[in-house]
């Protein structure tokens, strides 16, 4: 499952950040911001038009991501 598909307020753990292209700068930046395997994330809110942007919480930090950016983050729903 990807972060863009995750339901609101449902905790999940990051499993991977997928590079869309070789040397993908967006995927690299997501990893630098804390989207690393094992980190817990959740979707806090979605935008009013088409669900974009998506407000994501990683630890105590929140990020607004486009759906295309959130789709690069693979997650597994926490038990």
- The model's pLDDT over 29-44, given as tens digits with 9 standing for 90+, comes to 999 999 999 999 999 9
Peptide bond into 16 cis (omega under 30): no
Indicate if the alpha-carbon torsion angle 50, 42, 32, 19 is positive or negative: negative
- pTM across the whole model: 0.91
Give the per-residue pLDDT at 50: 84
Q: What is the mean pLDDT of each run of 10 residues along the chain (79 residues)?
A: 95 95 93 95 93 93 95 92
Q: Which domains does the chain have, with CATH numbers?
A: 3-59+70-77 (2.30.30.90)
């Amino acid at each position: 499952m990807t972060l863009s598909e995750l339901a609101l307020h449902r905790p999940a753990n990051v499993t991977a950040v997928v590079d869309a292209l070789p040397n993908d700068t967006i995927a690299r930046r997501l990893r630098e911001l804390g989207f690393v395997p094992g980190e817990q994330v959740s979707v806090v809110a979605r935008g009013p038009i088409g669900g974009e942007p998506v407000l994501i919480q990683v630890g105590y930090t929140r990020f607004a991501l486009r759906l295309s950016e959130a789709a690069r983050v693979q997650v597994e729903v926490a038990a």
